[in-house]
A and B are shown apart, each in its own frame.
Chain A
Amino acid sequence: MNSSRLLAIDSATEYCSVAYTDGQQLITRGQEAPRKHADLILPYVQDVLAEAKITLADLDAIVVGRGPGSFTGVRIAAGIAQGLAFSQDIPLIGVSSLEAMAQQALRLHGAKAVVAAIDARMGEVYFGTCLAEHGLMVMQGKEIVCAPDTVKALAAEYEWFTVGTGFVTYPEVLAARFGTEARVTPTDIRFPHAEDMLPIATQRLINGKAVAAEDFDVHYVRNEVTWQKLPGRS
């Protein structure tokens, strides 16, 4: 069976990236460019397609960073991915920002266990742990948003690689929660990259997890924000 042709887009964090694979070649673009994501993504897409010598019509699906991360950032990638997928009548596959960073730790460091935390502002982190299964990172339980001093201790049986800006903002607080038994190896990985969404998405496409463009859901994870209802409304 021929490999799928997938185009991945992510702008959930300060880093924005686009990646393409057909199972053989891998073409990527990306840079850390807060507030410039909307400017950069479509030119990147055009660039990547040109280098691959294909058009959008050749794609089997669009892959998109579904969050968590910056609300606006996630929506920029989601809007562009939805428009591209709808225009070609091809499905969308969402991949978590936390899983993508874990996959990056596997790619760069051979990590088997990853603890991921993104600074979510307001004194909280987006948090999750991933374990490698057959070369793909799999989220253990649900990704959550919480105060860094409330995360659970890590299982002592694994060597845990840390990824994400949560470890830049709260290194000591998080380390203290992981427990004295935990074996923790820091990495320089701060942001997800579209490249690492491709292997996860390839498997999801095979497993029938792709959705129609209009059925795609952003995973904000933080759903209770600072807005307040009028008195007496529930």
Chain B
Amino acid sequence: MEAVPQTRATALAIGGLAPHRMRRQRLGDTLFRGTTRGFALGVLLLLGAIITALFVGSLPAFRAFGFGFLFNSSWNPVTENFGALPAIYGTVITSFLAMLLAMPLAFGVAIFLTELCPRALRRPIGVLIELLAAIPSIIYGIWGLFILAPFLQTTLQPALIASFGRLPLIGALFGGPPLGLGILTASMILAIMVLPFIASVSRDVFQTVPAMLRESAYAMGATTAEVVRDIVIPHSRIGIVGGVMLGLGRALGETMAVTFVIGNAHRIKASLLAPGTTISATLANEFTEAVSQLYTSSLIALGLILFVITLIVLAAANYMLWRLSGETT
């Protein structure tokens, strides 16, 4: 280490390091800090870049169809008349049904894991349920197509048609032949896929309920079900809604599993047994086959719509879960 005479005094004053070393260290710190900040900014910009790219890509479609694109229910590649309504309808209805099916199951799992399960089994069962989330979408698709759909076609669907098909209003929901593939099957697959997300968030928020509250209720003679209904659920309401929204965000954008079992028909039918389509399934099926610019652009416009919907849902979900973590810590 060479000393630089004229600045030796200052160097000694700030800790005895030679000034060029000090400067090098500062430079190193600034560089490191700057690099990490740069990458963080990059993540931020990525979201903007995605929206911009989708917007630019969908301009031709919006120019050709205007806002009517959102409400047009035809999808005809030959005459190049495209509308998003059937895909939006399919996306919303499958996700809605999936949440309807998944929520009670997920809360059941969360209640079981926090209130009922022997301590030694909590972790293994929790992990097994979470493994449902690790299975890739395409595996659910292949399972849904070859196992679940034929099973539903011969069991649940004929039963539904026989018992509800003739009722005045509800009958329309269960009309038509049992095809196996369709809105209902897609919703059931989606329900299985979002179950672990809702269950694990619910379990985590149930666990944040202070033991004292719970024990007080038990000491008053409340049953486990009453403790859950009157103490645990009211205390973790925001977290539960956040978890449900998170699951909804997943369900809306789920692609491969739905593509396998939805039947891919650009039609809006009242019956839940009828085939339909979703935005993501339309993209997966048609994007590589779209030849004309307007066709491609309409598909990208569908993608933009999907992204905006999921963005809103996920932002709301994260906001709620954040407020919660701000409260408890």
A associates with B = no
Interface residues of A, Cβ cutoff 8 Å to B: none
